[in-house]
Amino acid sequence: MAVPRDTPPIPHHVGSRELNKIAPPPVPPRALFVTRGSFSHINAQLEAALRRVRPDLEIQRFDVTQTLKTDKMAQLRCLIGVQREYGLSSWRSRDTVRYRVMRSQSYYREARALLRRRFAGENFAFTLQTQSLINAALPGTPNFVYTDHVARASCGEMQAALSEPSAGWWAREREIYDEAAHVFTFGPKIRNMLTTGYGIPASKTSAIGAGASVVPKRPVDETLTRYAARNIVFVGIDWERKGGPELVAAFRALRRRLPDATLTIIGCRPELTEPGVTVLGRLPLAEVEEHYHAASCFCMPSRLEPFGIVFIEAMQFGLPVVATDVSDIGAIVAAGETGRLAAPGDITALAQALYDTLRDPTQCQAMGRASRRRATQFTWDAVARRILARAMEEARAGAFDLEPSW
């Protein structure tokens, strides 16, 4: 019988009895990582962290969106299905049709069929999907979901504009969670909503946090001079949704009390001529890092926010955070310790929160240091360890803290 090329040679002195005792080399565990697009760079960062934490894990990445883009017939079936499910109003805008396609039964079926055809007969220790718009569960393989959002969390501004998902989609979304071995959420709000809004057992969910896209590559300055500069930084692309207009109005009020305060706006380009405001627009990540280093505090008073990775970024640079108490921001920011919170849309309260943060450099410095200490819980490596503790070390998961200190 021929010996496979990759089989190590057997020493001549080994007899038949000893030969039977020689075990084959261990097969590295395999995992399938299923994604939809870049997910704001989250997928790439999570995959890299999984590889760092578990170097022996063989990870196969599969992007459903990129693959479906090459299948014109599947795309056509999705569009026909959207019209049947939602009606002709689906075509009123590009945003509407995109939103409804991602929440249609036709897209759900096409993605699921694609995965099952592509990986039929393959063995994985587990599958891991990010976001909850597809179902990556394969027969006989535990599937884990990591998401910052559930559809019921958008019953408000976005769904008022684009309409709620169909009854069929609600059932398909519930199926994702029912068939998952465990659902990891970024924060506790979505974790709790899975229990109260979807009936998923609390034991099947964990809020494990997220990591930052921009991290300090040089030592963070925690001197009093930095915090006395009173430079506020805003980093966000969606100016309206991130509360930009409210921030400018609050900053105008703040300058009447602290005339030396400044505001730097990164990520978008609102047309502003406000004294003390610098608008920079989109910048390379390395330049964003430098502005974090130069800031005294971070402010983004979001109206709507799935989680808020940018707050974790700011905290890693030792910045107190002034924000609204929407979504999980109140869980990330420890009010009175690492920052201050105001109700969304309350410009007076926002201006007061900025004043209380910046008026005393010593207090601002103390909050910045507390922010940096708290941020150590929120890294991509910590997220990867929490996922792997559940996915590959189930017996020992009880000894591992699956959640940060919310």
Q: For each of the chain's 406 residues, which pLDDT tens digit applies? A: 444 444 455 455 555 555 556 666 677 899 999 999 888 889 999 999 999 999 999 999 999 999 999 999 999 999 999 999 999 999 999 989 999 999 999 999 999 999 999 999 999 999 999 999 999 999 999 999 999 989 888 655 555 566 788 999 999 999 999 999 999 999 999 999 999 999 999 999 999 999 998 999 999 999 999 999 999 999 999 999 999 999 999 999 999 999 999 999 999 999 999 999 999 999 998 999 999 999 999 999 999 888 999 999 999 999 999 999 998 999 999 999 999 999 999 999 999 999 999 999 999 999 999 999 999 999 999 999 999 999 987 534 444 567 998 9
Percentages of the chain per state (helix, strand, coil), in multiples of 5 = 45, 15, 40
Q: What are phi and psi of 303, to 5 degrees?
A: -85, -35
Q: What is the pTM of this model?
A: 0.87
Q: Which CATH architecture has domain 224-375?
A: 3-Layer(aba) Sandwich (3.40)
Domains 30-211+380-399 and 224-375 share a fold: yes
Please name which of 94, 238, 66, 90 lies closest in space to residue 165, comparing C-alpha atoms. 90
Going from N- to C-terminal start, the domains of the chain cover 30-211+380-399, 224-375
The fold of the 30-211+380-399 domain, in CATH, is Rossmann fold (3.40.50)
d(Cα 347, Cα 325) in Å, to the nearest integer? 13
d(Cα 97, Cα 92) in Å, to the nearest integer? 8
Please name which of 368, 362, 310, 373 lies closest in space to residue 340, comparing C-alpha atoms. 368
